[in-house]
Amino acid sequence: MAAVPPVCEFGWPAPDFALPSITGVTQSYQQVAGPKGCVVAFICNHCPYVVAIARRLPSHVQALKERGVGFAAVNANDAKSYPQDSFENMAKFAQQFGFDFPYLYDESQAVARAYGAVCTPDFFGFNADGSLQYRGRLVASRRDPAPEDAERELVNAMLQVADSGRGPEKQNPSMGCSIKWKEI
């Protein structure tokens, strides 16, 4: 069953983090944020909703970077129960889809909990002040890729944030597989 995150809670501050990337470098929110904002996306390697957008993601991230918006993807799934989401497989997945942005591993799941991440993919878009302005989807896709001419909802929203500091009032929530939480 697909999970759907709540609507955007405008003004909510971005939690900081320090997570290892697939390149071996630990990254923080401040390091990945751009001068005009930042998107923190919770994704994983095996979710069909993520796979449906993975080929499109690098070009969308590039459009954001060109306007001063940083981007990082975070995998918080329990790799013991879902080995395809392991740290080692993250690098293979990133290479397969041409990721040229930080892909970070949240092994403890503390960052996903701090953000209130619900599903993969789950996009959090912040303005230059680190204030939440977007919590929606990349494009209108589900388990299958959206048409090539589908509106670039995340890009359009974050370009508005880059220009005005404020996200659109109307946002469509993302949908995806639930985060695979560790048993405590």
Q: Where are the domains of the chain?
A: 18-178
| CATH domain 18-178 topology | Glutaredoxin (3.40.30)
Please give the model's pTM, rounded to 2 decimal places.
Answer: 0.96
Strands (E), 50-128: 69-75, 103-105, 119-120, 122-127
H-state helical runs in 24-77 = 29-32, 48-54, 57-66
Q: What is the pLDDT along the chain (184 residues), one digit of tens a residue?
A: 578 888 899 999 999 999 999 999 999 999 999 999 999 999 999 999 999 999 999 999 999 999 999 999 999 999 999 999 999 999 999 999 999 999 999 999 999 999 999 999 999 999 999 999 999 999 987 777 777 878 999 999 999 999 999 999 999 999 999 999 998 7
Distance CA 123, CA 108 (A): 20
